Amino acid sequence: MDKKIYKDSPLPLYYQLKQIIINMVESRELKENDKLPTENELCKQFSISRTTTRQALKELVNEDYIYVIQGKGTFISPKKFQQELLNFYSFTDEMEKIGRTPTTLVLEFKIIETDNKVAQVLKINQNDKIYKFIRVRLADNEPMILETTYIPYDLFPGISREDLESNPLYAILVGRFHTVFTKAEETFRSTLLNEGEAKKLNYIKGGPAILLERITYNNYNRVIEYTKSVTRGDKFKYHVILTK
């Protein structure tokens, strides 16, 4: 950084440092996920105290300009996409709405006998046949979500790996099988990416993520989908409106 802090300015020193970093982000001198210098490096570069530096960085974290990964450093926050949780939504539709090109990479596609845990969620018998597929969802070729999906085979026979690579799942279920969605249950919790997830999402091991589980029902109150999604925490935020 080749910027200057003015000690004789009426503006507080921490505020000047904060504005220097903000200006560099907004001018794209600093890009998404770029690593910032350490506290010590910033102190030396601008001849300011660690207290001043920490205050600036704390406010930048609170305002979502930067994020911290323990043991790795401080990084520039990517722009987050806000997902509304008011109605049914799909990754494909949401990315197209904001002008990004969605694609899907199918990492695994199997027809298997279900184990007891998944059978309970899908409300089917253990050892019934199901599809299991793992997909990476991308926007403009950037990995965003890692999804593992289970659906009953008897309801949707004949789906292929090629179908999923070229069409959104919901488009297949509606267009080919005339499925009517009536409700979905979703649960969220924060998590950290393990090594395998980070590699698939082209992100940092230990990076922040959101684990989302979705159970979707049709108009006969039959469970038709169980999906576990690991969403990059630097890319998404979720929004819901509560009314009384």
**How many angstroms separate the CA atoms of 26 and 30, rounded?**
8
Using the 8-state DSSP alphabet, how is residue 11 labeled?
Answer: S
Shared domain for 212 and 101, answered yes or no, is yes
Shared domain for 123 and 110, answered yes or no, is yes
CATH number of the domain that residue 97 is part of: 3.40.1410.10
**Local confidence pLDDT in tens for the 244 residues of the chain:** 548 888 888 889 999 899 999 888 878 788 878 899 999 999 999 999 999 999 999 999 888 788 888 888 999 887 666 555 555 667 777 777 767 788 899 999 999 999 999 999 999 999 999 999 999 998 888 898 999 999 999 999 999 999 998 888 999 999 999 999 888 898 889 899 999 999 999 888 888 898 999 999 999 999 999 999 999 877 766 666 666 7
Shared domain for 68 and 87, answered yes or no, is no
pLDDT at 72: 87
Shared domain for 70 and 179, answered yes or no, is no
The reply to whether 8 falls in a domain is: no
Shared domain for 44 and 98, answered yes or no, is no
Sequence-separated (6 or more) residues with CB below 8 Å from residue 126: 113, 114, 115, 116, 119
Shared domain for 59 and 133, answered yes or no, is no
Full-model pTM: 0.67
The reply to whether 90 falls in a domain is: yes
- Of the residues 61, 76, 91, which one is the last residue of a structural domain? 76
Domain range holding 33? 13-76
Sequence-separated (6 or more) residues with CB below 8 Å from residue 119: 125, 126, 127, 128
Q: Three-state SS string across 159-177, please?
A: CCHHHHHHCCHHHHHHHCC
pLDDT at 179: 94
CATH number of the domain that residue 17 is part of: 1.10.10.10
